[in-house]
Amino acid sequence: MPDLQWLSLFPEEMAEEVKRRGYPAFRAKQLFSWLHKGADFDGMSNLPKDMLADLAKDTIAQPAVITHRQVSQADGTQKYLYTFPDGNAVEGVLMRYKHGLTLCISTQVGCKMGCAFCASTLDGCIRNLSAGEMLGEVLAVNRELQGEAVHNIVLMGSGEPLDNYEQVVRFLRLISHPNGLNISPRRVSLSTCGIVDKMHLLAQEKLPVTLSVSLHAPDDATRLRIMPIAKAWPMDKLMEACRAWVEMTGRRIVFEYALIDGVNSEGHQAKKLSQLLRGLQCHVNLIPLNDVKERDLKGVSRQKAEAFLKELENNHISATIRREMGSDIQGACGQLRRRVLKLPSGEGQG
């Protein structure tokens, strides 16, 4: 794979590289704008042919290529498999919401966090994605959309975004660049399993993204059963970081909570969760679990999910049960990749 990824560069860095190759720096502005429109070198009509031929010799314009797709008959949700030049593949999911097209992207090939319910972590983390590769995921979908464009982005595909901190922050700055996609951080949700030191760092970045925290438990004992990260960062430290986030950014936090039968979905656990979150500006997303056969984890009935929701509401905690999108195409991340790459099924998402 070429070392240089144009799409990972800020305009100033691109200008340096263009100059180093013997072309005037102003060409970088045109190059940045073409690349962020998803163009390949042969489609950049206002740049000199010799320069483009030179760039094409040892670099690539667009690192992410869509090699498989599935469309949900139920709601039009699309699932993509992206392949990178080194042969690694990750998934993305495009959902149509009232507030616009939302793309779920991956930040790593695999994941090392080891959550018991998640398919992405079954083979560990193979490698980080670069900012340019993440951007490439968005551009590849925009190229397919013809006229429409991705409006919101959620970092909820494979990988732990805060375990790839530098490249993820770079990606967030690149997509919000006015000469590029110009997607405001306000239209981005970043989901983390709770890497507390990085949550504190992110709060300082002046990037007003929506922070989602995958909580999945009301206390350490329950969380430790399903999320190894709870060992490194116990609940009191996690909640401290959440309060600091709200204070620093003025934005509410979203908690993801997948209801797992016999683990975290009982009435007393809803009560405990309410106590934990009392006074914090937040919203709880209750997620129907995608069953994980290998680990014998099962979701709960609709009725049980509603009882859990009611308990939270009675305690004045804002909460909803997340609508399932693309269930007929295994909308959950991790599954398409495993099928195409012929890995054992796993069945979870992440």
Residues carrying an active site annotation: 91, 333
Q: Where are the beta strands (DSSP E) in 63-196?
A: 65-71, 78-83, 89-97, 100-104, 108-110, 125-128, 152-155, 188-192
- The reply on whether position 192 binds ligand SAH by CB under 6 A is yes
Residue with Cβ nearer ligand SAH (9 or 258): 258
Compute the half-sphere exposure of residue 84: CA atoms within 13 Å on the CB side of its CA.
22
Q: Which amino acid is at 179?
A: N
Stretch that binds ligand SAH, among 13-21, 72-80, 186-194, 301-309 (CB under 6 A): 186-194
Q: Footprint of ligand SAH on residues 149-178 (CB under 6 A)?
A: 156, 160
The four Cα atoms 32, 35, 38, 39 give a dihedral, to 10 degrees, of 120
Among 32, 117, 165, 233, binds ligand SAH (CB under 6 A): 117
CB of 229 to ligand SAH, least distance (A): 8
Residue with Cβ nearer ligand SAH (241 or 292): 292
- The reply on whether position 102 binds ligand SAH by CB under 6 A is no
CB 114 within 8 A of CB 136: no
- The reply on whether position 263 binds ligand SAH by CB under 6 A is no
Q: Footprint of ligand SAH on residues 19-78 (CB under 6 A)?
A: none
Residue with Cβ nearer ligand SAH (88 or 290): 290
| Ramachandran quadrant class, 202 (left: phi over 0; alpha: psi -120 to 50; beta: rest) | alpha
Residue with Cβ nearer ligand SAH (139 or 229): 229
Q: Footprint of ligand SAH on residues 199-258 (CB under 6 A)?
A: 214, 256, 258
Neighbouring C-beta atoms of residue 279, cutoff 10 Å = 7
- The reply on whether position 292 binds ligand SAH by CB under 6 A is yes
Pairing of strands 100-104, 152-155: parallel
- Return the structure tokens found at 179: 């000469």
Among 287, 319, 325, 336, binds ligand SAH (CB under 6 A): 287
Closest CA to 183 of 164, 155, 213: 155
Report d(CA 213, CA 233) in Å as an integer: 13
- Residue labelled with tokens 């984890």: 297
Q: Which amino acid is at 183?
A: I
| SS3 (DSSP) at 174 | helix
Residue with Cβ nearer ligand SAH (82 or 117): 117
- The reply on whether position 277 binds ligand SAH by CB under 6 A is no
- The reply on whether position 290 binds ligand SAH by CB under 6 A is yes
- Residues that bind ligand SAH in the complex, under the rule CB under 6 A: 115, 117-118, 156, 160, 191-193, 214, 256, 258, 287, 289-290, 292, 348-350
